[in-house]
Amino acid sequence: MTYQSAIPTRPDTLEQPASQFDSLAQQHQADTLGMWVFLASEILFFGGMFMAYTVYRTAFPAAFEAASGHLNLGLGGINTAILLTSSLTMTLADDAVVARNRRATAIWLALTALLGTIFLAIKGIEWREEFREQLAPLFGRPFVFPEPHTDQARLFFSFYFALTGLHALHLLIGVVLVLVMLIFTLRDAPHLDAKVIIAGLYWHLVDLIWVFVFPLLYLAARHG
């Protein structure tokens, strides 16, 4: 039952495990496994919507291709790069916290939260653009699509708003989580390394989901 933990624990630590655990190593292994089980269920949570999208995209390839062309590929691409970068800063925060460098941890965490916020801001700009072009079939607003297959394009945009909205919600939770970690870092909370690394796992998963959302939605179109 003793295998290595994903969290590099330091033998010289003075921290005590929570009362239900025998050792800090056991606690860290449990925390890591718990997060991974949660992430597995998150994969299936988004997976259900990816599934529905896949069915419709294979049924209406032309309509989805046309509708995808109305998304802002530039902003979408920039946002993807931002999220990938935020994963890098999160990993650097992990390294810093393991090295017990609180100052560096705080900086990297702050940067991660900032990148997440920029992502959300750009996403907001995109949504506003789509609302203006009457491509948002929400709340009974008119949906105007200048090409054929209006109804199925509407289906595409239903998925676009549902998927990106759900992802944005997860990212918002991620930003709050990272900010909480930042506060923990500034206060030098106990078990800080485990907390930051496990929060990081969630952050990376949100990034990973976007890595699939981006090609499915933005790259379905015929460009060039």
Candidates 22, 24, 178; CA nearest to 8 is: 24
Stretch that binds other proteins, among 14-22, 114-122, 123-131, 177-185 (CB under 8 A): 14-22
Q: Does residue number 183 form part of the binding site for other proteins (CB under 8 A)?
A: no
Q: How far apart are CA 222 and CA 224, in angstroms?
A: 7
Neighbours of 188 (CB within 10 A): 9
Residues 25-64 that bind other proteins (CB under 8 A): 26, 29-30, 32-34, 36-52, 54-60, 63
Q: Taking contact as CB under 8 A, which single stretch among the options 114-122, 175-183, 187-195, 200-208 is the one that binds other proteins?
A: 200-208
C-alpha distance across the termini of the chain, in Å: 56
> How far apart are the C-alpha atoms of 196 and 115, rounded to whole Å?
17
Q: Is 139 in the site for other proteins (CB under 8 A)?
A: yes
Task: Report the C-alpha gap between 64 and 61 in whole angstroms.
Answer: 5
Amino acid occupying residue 130: E
* Span 96-135, contacts to other proteins by CB under 8 A: 98
Check binding of 142 to other proteins (CB under 8 A): no
Q: Which is nearer to other proteins, 175 or 220 (CB)?
A: 220
173 binding other proteins? (CB under 8 A)? no
Task: Give the integer Cα–Cα distance in Å for 65 and 10.
Answer: 52
Q: How far is the CB of 189 from other proteins (least distance, A)?
A: 15
- Give the residue with the Cβ less far from other proteins, 119 or 159: 159
- Would you call 102 helix, strand, or coil by DSSP? helix
Which region, judged by CB under 8 A, interacts with other proteins, from 109-117, 173-181, 187-195, 211-219?
211-219
Residue at token pair 């292994």: 29
Would you count residue 180 as binding other proteins (CB under 8 A)? Answer: no
Q: Rounded to the nearest whole angstrom, what is the least distance from the CB of residue 148 to other proteins in the complex?
A: 11
